[in-house]
Homo-oligomer: A and B are copies of this chain.
Amino acid sequence: MEQKISKPARERLIRLARLLEQLEKSGKQTVSSAEIQSRTGWTSFTIRRDISMLGVRCANAAGYNVALLKKTIDSVLSLGAAEKRCCIVGLGRLGEALAGFAGFNNSSFVIAAGFDSSTNRTETLRAPFPLYSTSKMEKIIADEKIEYAILAVPESAAEQMALRLAACGIKGIVNYTAAILHLPETTAVENLSVMDALQNLSCKSLN
């Protein structure tokens, strides 16, 4: 029976799934918690405890079965599951860089649309998915069954845009802006602000 998995454990398991994918591609069949420790820096104790929360036995004397452990994490966290449709909101230089990000190609996250307030931008930028004016955002999100949004607008526009995304049922927003977003509980937020990250690092290095 699987237990409720904490946020830090879930974040580690998501990264562990990627490590296992790399190991699987390189032909490795088993991996020990000591090897995982040397690749990630997490202690063997933490690794074993995280894996035990999956509620499935994936280990024998030689270590964890790489393919089985990957499959178990994917299944418990629904990682490899059905296609999840996303959009990019804001097609400045950051949005453009995200539009060209190769990591989406082999993932279950599909970028189905991009939005920008400038129609000049949406008409001239090339992307592997259709681009629209933000004035059509609500309609396209509904039509295209988009569930997640990557927010890369200027900070001053971030809150208003996030509220619009939440209002049309977006389940989660990756917030690249430094804006502090307070949204209804039905819309989760992951903050990826470079300023916050630098400040966290500079605090850490004081300790």
Contact of A15 among B19, B107, B190, B196 (CB under 8 A): B196
A94 / chain B contacts, CB cutoff of 8 Å: 94, 97-98, 101
Q: Give the nearest-CB partner of A88 in chain B.
A: B194
Say how far A21's CB is from chain B's closest CB, in angstroms.
10
Question: Is the pair A200, B18 in contact by a Cβ cutoff of 8 Å?
Answer: no
The segment out of A35-43, A47-55, A58-66, A135-143 that lies at the interface is A35-43
Q: Judge whether A115 is part of the interface by a CB distance below 8 angstroms.
A: no
Copies of this chain in the oligomer: 2
Q: Judge whether A14 is part of the interface by a CB distance below 8 angstroms.
A: yes
A147 / chain B contacts, CB cutoff of 8 Å: 205
Question: Is the pair B205, A171 in contact by a Cβ cutoff of 8 Å?
Answer: yes
Known: A11-B196, A100-B93, A195-B109. A148 touches B190 (CB 8 A): no
Q: Judge whether A84 is part of the interface by a CB distance below 8 angstroms.
A: yes
Q: Judge whether A78 is part of the interface by a CB distance below 8 angstroms.
A: yes
A195 / chain B contacts, CB cutoff of 8 Å: 18, 103-104, 107, 109
Write out, one digit per residue, whether chain A residues 65-108 have a CB within 8 A of any chain B CB (1) or not (0): 00000000000011100001010000011101110110110010
Say how far A37's CB is from chain B's closest CB, in angstroms.
9
Question: Is the pair A103, B172 in contact by a Cβ cutoff of 8 Å?
Answer: no
Write out, one digit per residue, whether chain A residues 179-207 have a CB within 8 A of any chain B CB (1) or not (0): 01011000010111011111111111110
- Given A171-B205, A190-B198, list of 6 further CB < 8 A pairs? A15-B191, A18-B180, A93-B100, A103-B155, A172-B202, A172-B204
A interface residues (Cβ-Cβ under 8 A, vs B): 7, 10-11, 14-15, 18-19, 38-41, 77-79, 84, 86, 92-94, 96-98, 100-101, 103-104, 107, 109, 147-148, 150, 155, 171-174, 178, 180, 182-183, 188, 190-192, 194-206
